[in-house]
């Protein structure tokens, strides 16, 4: 075992984020990665604001961050990874042994270890630290001519590509995305890259709607615009596939009305755990409601899509701050009127 003390961004509870020393240790079969930068995700913001993210509640201090990239510093010889190589880190470590993993749905593993997540206890530390220790299979090398700030979008893009897979073939489909935060905006781009003919987006915020247009939405609407959303409800709904990416109760409850009979809704937004739902329309229209959580092999797909420029995520990058300004960065990222994605630089 080798040891090192590094600075890390630790969350201990609501509004309790510290920039602290942390001891890390690694074995000869593990990889030591020098972290370059990491994107702040909605779940990091939730831990910071509320001490919990959805159903994951903080029970002990944890290093934040699961959207990060770095440079290999030490790697096992048999891993084919080289010191100095730039890698995207897949934060997901399914057990590979439970019945769910064996069925190929590793994202739903019964004992998942996901970096920077309090889903299970003990929590798994995240990547907002100067160095992290990971398994060789978590490291996805990428081309040297691609910027780290682009590849740092691999994790949220993987979430979106998985969501699109949940919807099935999008070729020729008319798509609605409710919620144009970073995930909603990446869904817009990924849906178009996957063959959707038209993507429409909604968001309460004008700033988010403008970003949705930049990411390829054909049109954007304020969901309070009764005239437009009323027209979507006519004749039993307009859209073949709806991605609900806000988690907001009003959005979740309204999407069924916008979905055409026989259409599909993919729930990506994580908001309140329970919401009053229009089950009647869901039933009589045979709308299929599908959950979507994290990703399986879509992480590597996301790295490749970013590497080749199939998707340009940079319109979503609002600010880059040094890691010792993590609290400011979290506050900025939490304010949708000021920022979409904020990255910490280590
Ligand atoms: Zn994320
Ligand atoms: Zn498992």
Model pLDDT for residues 273-303, shown as the tens digit of each residue: 788 999 999 999 999 999 999 999 999 999 9
Among the bound ligands, the one closest to the CA of 102 = 2
Query: Do residues 7 and 149 both lie within one domain?
Result: yes
Q: What is the CATH number of the domain that holds 86?
A: 3.90.180.10
Query: Do residues 73 and 178 both lie within one domain?
Result: no
Crossing angle for the helix pair 182-193 and 154-167, nearest 10 degrees?
60
Among the bound ligands, the one closest to the CA of 158 = 1
Residue 227 CA to ligand 1 centre (angstroms):
34
Indicate whether 329 belongs to any domain. yes
Q: For the residues of 228-266, what is the DSSP string, one character each?
A: HHHHHHGGG--EEEEEE-S--HHHHHHHHHHEEEEEEEE
Length of the chain, in residues:
346
DSSP element (H, E) containing 3: strand 2-13
Residue 22 CA to ligand 2 centre (angstroms):
28
Exposed, middle or buried: residue 53 (CB in 10 Å: 0-12, 13-18, 19+)?
Answer: buried
Residue 325 CA to ligand 1 centre (angstroms):
19
Q: What is the CATH number of the domain that holds 243?
A: 3.40.50.720
Residue 54 banded pLDDT, cuts 50, 70, 90? confident
Query: Do residues 269 and 188 both lie within one domain?
Result: yes
Contact 193, 310 (CB under 8 A): yes
Q: Could you give the 3-state DSSP secondary structure of residue 185?
A: helix
Question: Could you tell me which of 291, 265, 340 has the C-alpha nearest to residue 54?
Answer: 291
State which residues form the domain around 190. 157-291
- Of the chain, the end-to-end C-alpha distance in Å amounts to 24
Model pLDDT for residues 133-185, shown as the tens digit of each residue: 999 999 999 999 999 999 999 999 999 999 999 999 999 999 999 999 999 99
Query: Do residues 68 and 209 both lie within one domain?
Result: no
CA neighbours closer than 13 Å in the CB half-sphere of residue 343: 23
Q: Could you give the 3-state DSSP secondary structure of residue 135?
A: coil
Among the bound ligands, the one closest to the CA of 98 = 2
Indicate whether 299 belongs to any domain. no
Model pLDDT for residues 239-263, shown as the tens digit of each residue: 999 999 999 999 999 999 999 999 9
């Amino acid at each position: 075992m080798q040891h090192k003390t590094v600075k890390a961004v630790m969350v201990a509870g609501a509004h309790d984020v510290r920039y602290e020393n942390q001891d890390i240790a690694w074995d000869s079969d593990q990889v030591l990665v020098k972290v370059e930068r990491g994107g702040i995700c909605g779940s990091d913001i939730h831990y910071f604001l509320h001490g919990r993210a959805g159903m994951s509640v903080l029970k002990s201090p944890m290093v934040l961050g699961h959207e990060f990239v770095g440079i290999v510093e030490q790697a096992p010889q048999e891993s084919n990874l080289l010191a100095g190589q730039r890698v995207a880190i897949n934060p997901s470590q399914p057990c590979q042994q439970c019945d769910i993993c064996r069925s190929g749905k590793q994202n739903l593993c019964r004992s998942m270890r996901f970096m920077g997540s309090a889903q299970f206890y003990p929590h798994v530390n995240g990547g907002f630290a100067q160095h992290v220790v990971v398994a060789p299979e978590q490291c996805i090398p990428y081309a040297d001519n691609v910027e780290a700030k682009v590849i740092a979008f691999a994790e949220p893009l993987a979430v979106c590509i998985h969501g699109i897979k949940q919807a099935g073939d999008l070729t020729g489909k008319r798509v609605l995305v409710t919620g144009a935060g970073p995930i909603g905006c990446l869904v817009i781009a990924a849906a178009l890259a996957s063959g959707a003919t038209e993507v429409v987006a909604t968001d309460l915020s004008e700033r988010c709607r403008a970003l949705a247009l930049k990411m390829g939405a054909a049109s954007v609407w304020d969901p309070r615009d009764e005239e437009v959303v009323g027209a979507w409800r006519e004749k039993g709904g307009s859209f073949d596939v709806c991605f609900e990416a806000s988690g907001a109760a009003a959005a979740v409850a309204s999407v069924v009305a916008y979905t055409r009979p026989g259409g599909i809704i993919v729930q990506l937004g994580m908001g309140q755990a329970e919401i009053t739902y229009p089950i009647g329309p869901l039933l009589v229209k045979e709308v299929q409601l599908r959950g979507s959580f994290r990703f399986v092999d879509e992480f590597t797909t996301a790295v490749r899509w970013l590497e080749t420029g199939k998707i340009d995520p940079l319109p979503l990058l609002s600010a880059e701050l040094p890691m010792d300004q993590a609290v400011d960065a979290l506050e900025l990222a939490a304010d949708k009127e000021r920022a979409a994605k904020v990255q910490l630089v280590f």
